[in-house]
């Protein structure tokens, strides 16, 4: 591997001069700068831009990596991104948002090779996330909004989905609901499923079983149309359903439209609780919620990653953030025909 020392020898300058050319920390004579740049080109030397920035004391960068396939980033995701950027700024870091496409790992490798990033913060974390494994193998600090099945020595912050499930199911059971549906985000049951969606589905089913309640789970894509179809599928699968928990904001809007079309108005004949970030006060009726607190989770994840950058040998911060149930107008006593 070509080093700065190699460049310095070929250019006939000190390694400090090479560093100054890269960082711009000091004024360098044009002819000296040209010698250094020519030597870099001749040797095929690619500078680590982040190391240069740190050496010049000019910038520190964290990349937030969001896999934009099979869907694009939406408003509920932006709550996490904006909160993370604000938390990083308060700690003296800059944030770039990297929305990766279908060739997810290839793009991540390119970003690592560019050397522009000091640490990575991953969103949409799966239970067995190859991005985490790759970055750890490359020696690149990584933090998570979410968590893998076994996070190990990786800093993260995540919603407490066992607590959310208990909170919501207890609320609905207290209203007399005996069959509860879950309108989930798209997820796989295996290790590649999005951790949040898998954990919530497991927790809701487990809590319903403990309380001897019926439970049906339907996953939906993040669109209004898909939400309408998902509610029909849910009611076909479990016709006795009188309450729905939704972990899919866009699909929730479709489900509300479909409930009216099916003669199951909310909350008179169908209660609905939103457990994903969205705009619950913009709907009619306003939605009862128990959403993971996006700002708190994102802030905790960024701070955990930055602390890990400063003291990589210390035990990383790993935090589950509880939610609060906010009752509005979309839940009521169970309908009895």
Is there a single domain that holds both residue 185 and residue 284?
Answer: yes
pLDDT tens track for 94-152: 898 888 754 567 777 777 777 778 899 999 999 999 899 888 888 889 999 999 999 99
Distance from chain centroid for Cα 37: 40
Within-domain flag for 331: no
Distance from chain centroid for Cα 321: 14
Question: Is residue 51 over pLDDT 60?
Answer: no
Is there a single domain that holds both residue 141 and residue 184?
Answer: no
Could you tell me which residue, 278 or 33, shows the higher pLDDT?
278
First to last CA, the chain: 75
Within-domain flag for 335: no
pLDDT tens track for 282-295: 999 999 999 999 99
Is there a single domain that holds both residue 267 and residue 190?
Answer: yes
The tally of domains found in the chain comes to 3
Contact 61, 93 (CB under 8 A): yes
Look up the CATH number of the domain holding residue 14. 1.10.260.40
Burial zone of 33 (CB within 10 Å; 0-12 exposed, 13-18 middle, 19+ buried): middle
Contact 94, 104 (CB under 8 A): no
Is there a single domain that holds both residue 236 and residue 205?
Answer: yes
Is there a single domain that holds both residue 136 and residue 170?
Answer: no
Provide the pLDDT for residue 10. 93
Q: How does the average pLDDT of the chain come out, rounded? A: 88
Domain ranges, residue 317: 61-159+295-321
pLDDT tens track for 72-83: 666 678 889 999
Is there a single domain that holds both residue 65 and residue 126?
Answer: yes
Is there a single domain that holds both residue 176 and residue 285?
Answer: yes
Within-domain flag for 191: yes
Is there a single domain that holds both residue 168 and residue 283?
Answer: yes
Is there a single domain that holds both residue 173 and residue 285?
Answer: yes
Could you tell me which residue, 256 or 26, shows the higher pLDDT?
256
pLDDT tens track for 304-314: 999 998 888 89
Q: Using a cut of 0.85, tell me whether the model's pTM lies above it.
A: no
Question: Is residue 52 over pLDDT 60?
Answer: no
Provide the pLDDT for residue 32. 87
Instruction: Report the range of poorest mean pLDDT among 58-62, 215-219, 262-266.
Output: 58-62
Question: Is residue 337 over pLDDT 60?
Answer: yes
Phi, psi of 66, deg, nearest 5: -120, 115
Is there a single domain that holds both residue 46 and residue 17?
Answer: yes
Question: Is residue 211 over pLDDT 90?
Answer: yes
Look up the CATH number of the domain holding residue 134. 3.40.50.2300
Is there a single domain that holds both residue 207 and residue 109?
Answer: no
Within-domain flag for 327: no
């Amino acid at each position: 591997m070509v080093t700065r020392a190699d460049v310095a020898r070929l250019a006939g300058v000190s390694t400090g001069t090479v560093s100054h050319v890269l960082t711009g920390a000091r004024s360098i004579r044009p002819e000296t700068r040209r010698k250094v740049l020519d030597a870099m080109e001749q040797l095929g030397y690619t500078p680590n831009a982040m190391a240069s920035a740190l050496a010049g004391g000019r910038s520190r960068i964290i990349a937030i990596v969001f896999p934009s396939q099979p869907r694009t980033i939406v408003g509920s995701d932006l709550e996490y991104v904006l909160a993370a950027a604000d938390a990083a700024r308060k700690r003296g870091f800059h944030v770039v948002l990297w929305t990766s496409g279908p060739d997810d790992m290839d793009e991540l490798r390119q970003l690592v090779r560019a050397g522009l990033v000091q640490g990575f913060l991953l969103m949409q974390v799966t239970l067995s996330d190859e991005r985490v494994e790759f970055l750890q193998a490359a020696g690149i600090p990584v933090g998570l909004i979410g968590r893998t099945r076994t996070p190990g020595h990786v800093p993260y912050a995540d919603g407490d989905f066992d607590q959310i499930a208990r909170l919501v199911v207890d609320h609905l059971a207290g209203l007399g609901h005996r069959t509860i549906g879950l309108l989930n985000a798209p997820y796989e049951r295996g290790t590649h499923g999005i951790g949040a969606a898998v954990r919530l589905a497991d927790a809701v089913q487990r809590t319903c079983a403990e309380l001897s309640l019926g439970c049906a789970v339907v996953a939906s894509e993040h669109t209004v149309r898909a939400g309408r179809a998902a509610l029909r599928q849910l009611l076909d699968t479990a016709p006795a359903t009188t309450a729905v928990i939704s972990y899919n904001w866009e699909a929730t809007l479709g489900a509300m439209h479909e409930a009216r079309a099916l003669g199951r108005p909310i909350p008179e004949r169908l209660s609905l609780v939103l457990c994903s970030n969205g705009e619950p006060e913009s709907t009619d009726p306003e939605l009862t919620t128990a959403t993971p607190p996006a700002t708190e989770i994102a802030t905790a994840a960024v701070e955990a990653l930055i602390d890990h950058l400063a003291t990589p040998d210390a035990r990383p911060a790993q935090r589950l953030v509880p939610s609060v149930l906010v009752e509005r107008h979309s839940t009521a006593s169970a309908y009895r025909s």
